[in-house]
């Protein structure tokens, strides 16, 4: 048993293992107030929610309060490990500023009220607008943090009951491109790979994915492979010198906005050297000739000039990828939040198709998610898609869903593509949407161009409903605020990026009068008196398990088939990967085995889009292209970023995450250890740029774009020259504990632009043109920096235990690791 400061050493101690071996167990835990496991009254099964990895854990309960967590050794995802946000984030549940009673706006102020008054106001305004303006005046904007049962209920209400196509989630900001890229290459959502591919791969590529900070437990798995025998080669594509870059065999640091050029050059070299599985392509793919023709103009020399990456590095990366025997790739926001997001992510899929690296151990691609339950928004239709990965453009799919819901197919809006989040906000801005129901998200901080967003959400003609656990910046603008229960206070299931379904059981009651999101949605449906075509209630369930059983029937026969999963089956053991049905009763580790895809024209979820214009491919066009349901190789030409540096704005600004916070910090900012580790915003610049401008570590810089400004202390890092980085977590609800200049902006999205990828409609957070000037000298003060190996090079072979600096704080941050080899 070892003791490790998990703020300073977020990935814990190493448990080395080799290719083909099982990842060793290491159980991590943290209990409050010096408690021991013997003090715990009961342990309640759950999984993690402050990132997208889906780590299995148990919740410790004492005196009907959550007092800690421990990893589940039996779980296939984490083998007992937990990250810093898992270990400490639960403390936000008991924060004294939790919402405990509904609020309603009276005379311009939010005041406490009862549930009857609040829900009557919400339902009555919905009915009024439906009568006056129709379903298109109603919109829903949800999250990636609810449970599957709640998303499915919300999607049923919005699509099947109200009949609006204005439904999306904040997953549009982080994972829309994951779904879009999978639909383009395989005509359906669903991740081909599995986390266990790390156990077998000889080359692992991370494209725009700082896994060390976004999925700390999964990065621990890679670190353990790197410290074991026959370690894999690692290729990192990221303009920043991240911990992933520190451990990489090759670090490619392209100019922001040039990912398609870089990917095309890698593919060009792979084809030029004939590192191609021609038999696989002939049998299982279409589009190779078009891809080969387009790539002829994308030499490594041209890419080196455009991307600012040495040609020899590109060739060496292509060699490792092209000669690997077991290739694994992951993709995240560095690719997803750019102007050619889908085009770049699709080229990663193309590499795997060209090399025949799908459906085999170690040969997976994971178009990663950014939130814990983002996969469920897409499965259940809460992001605008049709539930069960059904195709909006296929009338037989609409009829099938209508049969499941027992409604007329014409009651399901499918006359056009679903409305994405950015377009919903435009409709609010122009007044066509008059009712916006926001659940468990904070667009007043997370959306681009915040000055504009505040103006949109503050309109008098808009009726804004916010359902959340804290009075967020968005909730402060609402007409009605509904207090919700959160993780640990309700029961439900959720699914991670490698299709693993977990059950999270209710451990304690929510505070005050707070209710579960499912209970609130069911109440809303009842007050609207939504009915099926037989006059029975449209929403036929009241409990999470009943909702899950309803969802299973909706998923029957679809790619995300849950029919073989029950709550009882999920209790006690590991999470289970879908599809799970009669054919695969124990779940499915990898899909697309032996080149069998879900891309048949009559079965597939999507016919795809043009990667440059975003125009949808028609059913006729798709059937002509892919009549036999193969994988699709889709070429994409490189286009420069929409907003390039200029004399006035010479830098390229990118935004992103830090290891210790999640989204807008509504939870992590209320966990003492996490808030202390990263108390305030900072800006990163390269040493070359700092020297050129005479900046010193800790100087206060004012970062500006044509849309706004942010002030932050400077952190000089290994980011590429000409780029600046700001973490996007910091808003305005709390500035305590930091060292931020008074009355100055610190929300990165004050600076970002309202623009999006044409195919996925994901906003662009990575290529804003920016300027920076010093407004205050450091006077010897450093930028706020967590005491972690995340901010300095890390030796992948050894992350030794440490107790940190201050003894009292270090003792508070200690967690326990039990290592079984």
Enter the tokens of residue 234.
């690692």
d(CA 659, CA 51): 10
Q: What is the pLDDT of residue 814?
A: 40
Check pLDDT > 80 for residue 450.
Answer: yes
CATH code at position 87: 3.30.200
Same domain, 227 and 280: yes
Q: What is the pLDDT of residue 644?
A: 94
pLDDT in tens, 267-290: 999 999 999 999 999 999 999 999
**Number of domains present in the structure of the chain:** 3
Calculate the CA 670 to chain-centre distance. 21
Percent of the chain with pLDDT over 90: 87
Report the pLDDT averaged over residues 359-371: 95
Same domain, 21 and 91: yes
Enter the tokens of residue 705.
């774009």
Q: What is the pLDDT of residue 415?
A: 86
Report the pLDDT averaged over residues 93-102: 96
Same domain, 694 and 763: yes
Check pLDDT > 60 for residue 801.
Answer: no
Same domain, 195 and 302: yes
Say which range, 177-191, 629-643, 655-669, has the weakest mean pLDDT: 655-669
CATH code at position 196: 3.40.228.10
d(CA 82, CA 80): 7
pLDDT in tens, 146-176: 999 999 999 999 999 999 999 999 989 888 9
Check pLDDT > 50 for residue 119.
Answer: yes
Same domain, 619 and 686: no
d(CA 662, CA 84): 11
The residue behind tokens 């490698």 is: 498
Say which range, 264-268, 297-301, 416-420, 681-685, has the weakest mean pLDDT: 416-420
Enter the tokens of residue 23.
């990842």
pLDDT in tens, 726-741: 998 888 866 454 454 4
Same domain, 316 and 229: yes
Q: Which residues, including other chains, have CB under 8 Å from residue 21's CB and lie 6 or more apart? A: 199, 228
Same domain, 349 and 207: yes
Q: What is the pLDDT of residue 673?
A: 95
Residue 61: name the closest of 47, 41, 91 by CA.
41
Q: What is the pLDDT of residue 733?
A: 67
Same domain, 194 and 84: no
Enter the tokens of residue 756.
């999006």
d(CA 682, CA 661): 13
Q: What is the pLDDT of residue 745?
A: 73
Enter the tokens of residue 43.
């342990």
Residue 82's domain comprises: 2-97+808-820
pLDDT in tens, 301-337: 999 999 999 999 999 999 999 999 999 999 999 999 9
The residue behind tokens 């906005």 is: 257
Same domain, 619 and 717: no
Q: What is the pLDDT of residue 734?
A: 63
Same domain, 812 and 786: no
Same domain, 347 and 314: yes
d(CA 614, CA 421): 16
């Amino acid at each position: 048993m070892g003791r490790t400061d998990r703020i300073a050493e977020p990935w814990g101690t190493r448990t080395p293992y080799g290719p083909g071996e099982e990842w060793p167990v290491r159980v991590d835990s943290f209990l409050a107030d010096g408690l021991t496991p013997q003090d715990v009254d009961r342990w309640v099964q759950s999984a993690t929610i402050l990132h997208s990895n889906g780590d299995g854990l148990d919740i410790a309960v004492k005196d009907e309060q959550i007092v800690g967590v421990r990893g589940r050794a039996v779980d296939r995802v984490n083998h007992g490990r937990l990250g810093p946000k898992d270990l400490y984030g639960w403390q936000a549940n008991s924060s004294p500023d939790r919402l405990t009673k509904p609020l309603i706006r009276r005379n311009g102020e939010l005041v406490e009220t009862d549930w009857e008054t609040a829900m009557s106001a919400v339902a009555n305004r919905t009915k009024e607008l439906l009568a006056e303006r129709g379903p298109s005046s109603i919109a829903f904007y949800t999250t990636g943090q609810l449970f599957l049962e709640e998303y499915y209920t919300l999607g049923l209400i919005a699509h099947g009951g109200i009949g609006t196509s204005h439904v999306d989630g904040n997953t549009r900001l982080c994972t829309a491109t994951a779904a879009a890229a999978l639909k383009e290459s395989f005509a359906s959502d669903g991740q081909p790979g599995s986390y266990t591919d790390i156990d077998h791969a000889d080359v692992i590529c991370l494209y725009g994915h700082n896994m060390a900070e976004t999925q700390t437990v999964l990065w621990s798995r890679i670190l353990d492979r790197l410290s074991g025998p026959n370690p894999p080669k690692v290729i990192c594509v990221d303009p920043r010198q991240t911990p992933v870059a520190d451990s990489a065999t090759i670090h490619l640091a392209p100019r922001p906005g040039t990912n398609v050029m870089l990917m095309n050059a890698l593919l060009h070299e792979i084809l030029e050297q004939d590192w191609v599985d021609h038999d696989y392509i002939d049998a299982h793919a279409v589009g190779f000739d078009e891809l080969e023709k387009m790539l002829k103009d994308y030499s490594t020399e041209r890419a080196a000039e455009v991307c600012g990456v040495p040609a020899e590095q590109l060739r060496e990366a292509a060699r490792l990828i092209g000669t690997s025997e077991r290739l694994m790739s992951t993709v995240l926001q560095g690719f997803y939040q750019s102007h050619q997001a889908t085009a770049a992510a699709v080229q990663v899929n193309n590499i795997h198709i060209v090399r025949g690296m799908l459906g085999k151990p170690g040969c997976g691609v994971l178009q990663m998610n950014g939130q814990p339950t983002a996969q469920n928004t897409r499965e259940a239709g809460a992001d605008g898609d049709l539930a069960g990965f059904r195709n909006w453009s296929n009338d037989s799919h609409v009829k099938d869903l209508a049969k499941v819901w027992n409604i007329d197919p014409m009651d399901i809006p499918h006359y056009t593509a679903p409305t994405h989040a950015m377009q919903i906000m435009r409709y609010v801005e122009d007044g066509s949407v008059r009712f916006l129901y926001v659940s468990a998200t904070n667009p007043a901080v997370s959306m681009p161009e915040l000055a504009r967003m505040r103006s949109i959400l503050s309109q008098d003609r808009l009726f804004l409903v916010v359902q959340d656990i804290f009075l967020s910046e968005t909730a402060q603008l609402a007409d009605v605020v509904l207090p919700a229960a959160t993780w640990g206070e309700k029961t439900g299931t959720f699914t991670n990026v490698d299709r693993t379904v977990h059950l999270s059981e209710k451990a304690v009651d929510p505070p005050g009068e707070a209710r579960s999101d499912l209970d609130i949605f069911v109440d809303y449906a009842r007050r609207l008196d939504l009915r099926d075509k037989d006059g029975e209630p449209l929403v036929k369930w009241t409990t999470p398990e009943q909702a899950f059983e309803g969802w299973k029937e909706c998923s029957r026969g679809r790619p995300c088939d849950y029919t073989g999963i029950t709550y009882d089956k999920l209790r006690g053991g590991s999470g289970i990967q879908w599809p799970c049905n009669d054919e695969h009763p124990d779940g499915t580790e990898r899909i697309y085995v032996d080149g069998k895809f879900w891309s048949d024209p009559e079965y597939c979820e999507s016919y795809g889009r043009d990667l440059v214009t975003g125009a949808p491919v028609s059913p006729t066009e798709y059937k002509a292209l892919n009549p036999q349901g193969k994988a699709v190789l889709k070429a994409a030409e490189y286009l420069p970023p929409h907003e390039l540096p200029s004399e006035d704005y010479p830098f390229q600004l990118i935004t992103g995450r830090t290891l210790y916070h999640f989204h807008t910090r509504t939870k992590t900012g209320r966990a003492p250890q996490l808030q202390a580790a990263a108390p305030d915003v900072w800006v990163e610049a390269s040493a070359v740029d700092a020297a050129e401008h005479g900046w010193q570590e800790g100087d206060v810089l004012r970062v500006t774009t044509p849309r706004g400004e942010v002030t932050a202390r400077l952190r000089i890092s290994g980011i590429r020259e000409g780029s600046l980085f700001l973490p996007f977590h910091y808003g305005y609800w709390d500035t305590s504990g930091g060292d931020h200049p008074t009355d100055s902006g610190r929300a990165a999205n004050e600076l970002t632009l309202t623009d999006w990828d044409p195919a996925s409609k994901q906003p662009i957070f990575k290529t804003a043109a920016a300027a920076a000037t010093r407004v205050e000298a450091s006077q010897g003060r450093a930028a706020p920096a967590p005491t972690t190996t995340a901010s300095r090079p890390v030796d992948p072979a050894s992350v030794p235990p440490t107790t940190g600096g201050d003894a009292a704080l270090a003792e508070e941050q200690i967690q326990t690791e039990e290592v079984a080899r």
